[in-house]
Structure 1
Amino acid sequence: MTDRPRVIVTPRSAPGHPSLTRLAQAGYDVVFPAPGRVPSEDEQRSHLAGAVGYLAGVETISRDTLTSAPSLRVISRNGVGADAIDLAAAEELGIEVLRAPAANAQGVAELAVGLMLAAARHIPLAVTAIANGQWTREMGTELAGRTLGIIGCGNIGRRVARVAAAIGMQIIGYDAYPDPQYRQDGFRYASLDEVLETANVITLHAPPADRPLIDDVVLTRTKTDLILVNTARAALVDDNAVLAALNSGRLAGYAADVFDPEPPGETALTRHPRFIGTPHIGGFTRESVDRAMDAAVDQLIDRLDSGRG
């Protein structure tokens, strides 16, 4: 046991990261409830009981979990999203929630572009064929000259736009709060309806809403050659509607890096030949992890130290 104030650390990529040495040097006891994996709610509660800080990953942090942590003052996320945290409960309990905006933007943007290309050229099918000693090919589509629709034009969406412009795509973007100062060759803002109805490729970079953004009704309005990419939030897409659209041919391809639950297990969607799935690797690059961990640790120390002694 130690008298040092405790900070629990749960991101799967955190164990062994050098930025954590700063927490120890600042006088905090660093504890890993579930090294290398997402902790259960019971594991969170058992380690949070005496903790003052929480460096959090993608796990759900419920009201019940927060109320079981009377000493907790600060939650610092190693990413921008905080929708897995009960923010209302945190505010009521006086727990500050910090984020690391843009830390993983480049990694997610590059993956989104990679998934577009993989879907357009049927790369997973080709790779699997060669690995199995086969010579199976499917006619692909060039993205140059096609229209990319970006839903959510923040740090990630804008990086995707830059790469798409270099490829030669025309880009239209919808954002709930468009930035009138933003300029990018080949890009213009558009209504959500225009994006959904005219884009050949749609990539999602928006926060979740009360209901899925992409559902069966929306998919009757999109182009029949649409490639849909989701590296944002699983809740943005109705998986059953997407599966039906893939089966009917209304949707040319769907690529996702996010699932609910994670891992998703084997489902009709994950087995579909026009589906490409990756295991939440958008921000899982050495550079993104370093930026996110550095920001999360620095913010956590700053806030915790401001209330000490």
Structure 2
Amino acid sequence: MDAAVSASAGRIVVTPRSAYGHPALERMRDAGYELVFPSPGAVPTPEQQRAALGSAVGYLAGVEPVTRETLAAAPRLRAISRNGTGADAIDLAAASELGVEVLRAPAANAQGVAELAVGLMLAAARSLPSATAAIRAGEWGRWEGIELAGRRLGLVGAGQVGRRVARVALALGMSVRAFDAYPDSSFAPDGDFAFAPLEEVLATAEVLSLHAPPAATPLLDARALAALPAGAILVNTARASLVDEAAVLAALDSGGLRAYATDVFEVEPPGVTTLTAHPAVLGTAHIGGFTRESVDRALGAAVSNLLDALDSDRERPGDE
């Protein structure tokens, strides 16, 4: 991109791992913006992030933390656009104070996350990772599974993702009880579904799937885990902060939990830990929204949001 064109609009930093090379980005180039990739295909380090943002007006952000220090090092930054719903990695108070708009792409990856949650339930119920690993090793390993039909699914969070999971579970023949801080009474799918208090959801959930926003303290601590029926399956495609990992490990060791299937970890990538190495843990690498369709929807929405925000304010003084 020549200097005359890029100077007319400014720089946009792009960090989502799935964005590099995606055709949706061409819309920003066509609008006259210069795109900067501090770490193509990888999560940037804080040093890479701050160096790239120093002269940027826009930021198409991935999962990396965006701290007050980072924002302070980006004096021209006007808007941050996330290619998903969550913005908990961004210091929202600092962004507000510094006049940086934070934009989200709600529901763009909901179908991908919901399908992964259902897949993890099925994999845990039938011990699929162990079964396939045995065949790969030339062994004839067989593990007795459980059927989901006739069992109770508990949902913590019944938004875009939770509602999709509920519909699939009902189609499988499960009953569903959902807790949501703001239950949508218009959601009334066919089958045995009802909203319920959290205590009832926990006490009856043979499978519990988490779809809630991040929490300051874990919702699933030792006390909450003890309330689940013995041998329950816990699925987490939402946030690592929702669970007390030490309490989960204790529940797995005692048999209180049959399995913990999770797409999220306190530290990502987590490396080899007691949790990741546990035979009853099914872990995936934060791939809930990493489907071709979800990536297309999320990046398309994130690009549109960012262009709308920047173009509405392109003539702001002090940018020359």
Q: Same fold (TM over 0.5)?
A: yes
**Alignment match of 1:133 (pick from 130, 138, 146):** 138
Deviations 1:89-140 (A, max 9, x none): 0011111000000000000000000000000000001000000000111110
> Any gaps of 5 or more consecutive residues in structure 2?
316-320
- Rounded to whole Å, the distance in 1 between the matches of 2:176 and 2:82 is 31
Is the aligned partner of 1:61 residue 2:66?
yes
Which residue is 1:286 aligned to?
292
Is the aligned partner of 1:253 residue 2:251?
no
SS in 1 for 2:51: helix
Amino acid in structure 2 at the alignment position of 1:258: V
Which residue is 1:82 aligned to?
87
Deviations 1:267-309 (A, max 9, x none): 1111111110000110000000000000000110111001123
- Rounded to whole Å, the distance in 1 between the matches of 2:54 and 2:277 is 42
- Rounded to whole Å, the distance in 2 between the matches of 1:62 and 1:187 is 41
Amino acid in structure 2 at the alignment position of 1:57: G
RMSD: 0.8
Which residue is 2:98 aligned to?
93
Pairwise CA distance, 1:37: 0.6
Amino acid in structure 1 at the alignment position of 2:221: D
Which residue is 1:174 aligned to?
179
SS in 2 for 1:19: helix
Deviations 1:221-244 (A, max 9, x none): 111121000000011111111011
Structure 1 consecutive aligned stretches of length 4 or more whose deviation exceeds 6 Å = none
Which residue is 2:122 aligned to?
117
**Alignment match of 1:239 (pick from 241, 245, 263):** 245
Is the aligned partner of 1:225 residue 2:231?
yes
- Rounded to whole Å, the distance in 2 between the matches of 1:146 and 1:156 is 20
**Alignment match of 1:155 (pick from 151, 154, 160):** 160
Which residue is 2:7 aligned to?
3
Amino acid in structure 2 at the alignment position of 1:87: L
Amino acid in structure 1 at the alignment position of 2:211: H
Pairwise CA distance, 1:76: 0.3
Is the aligned partner of 1:194 residue 2:205?
no
Pairwise CA distance, 1:86: 0.4
- Rounded to whole Å, the distance in 1 between the matches of 2:123 and 2:212 is 22
- Rounded to whole Å, the distance in 2 between the matches of 1:264 and 1:142 is 31
**Alignment match of 1:107 (pick from 97, 100, 112):** 112
SS in 1 for 2:23: coil
Question: Which is further off, 101-110 or 267-276?
Answer: 267-276
- Rounded to whole Å, the distance in 1 between the matches of 2:158 and 2:41 is 32
Aligned-pair identity in percent equals 63
- Return the TM-score normalized by structure 1: 0.99
Which residue is 1:210 aligned to?
216
Deviations 1:56-109 (A, max 9, x none): 011110011011111000000000000000001001111100000000000000
Which residue is 1:34 aligned to?
39
SS in 2 for 1:220: helix
Pairwise CA distance, 1:46: 0.5
Pairwise CA distance, 1:3: 2.1
Amino acid in structure 1 at the alignment position of 2:302: A
Which residue is 1:24 aligned to?
29
SS in 2 for 1:3: helix
Aligned residues: 309
Pairwise CA distance, 1:260: 1.6
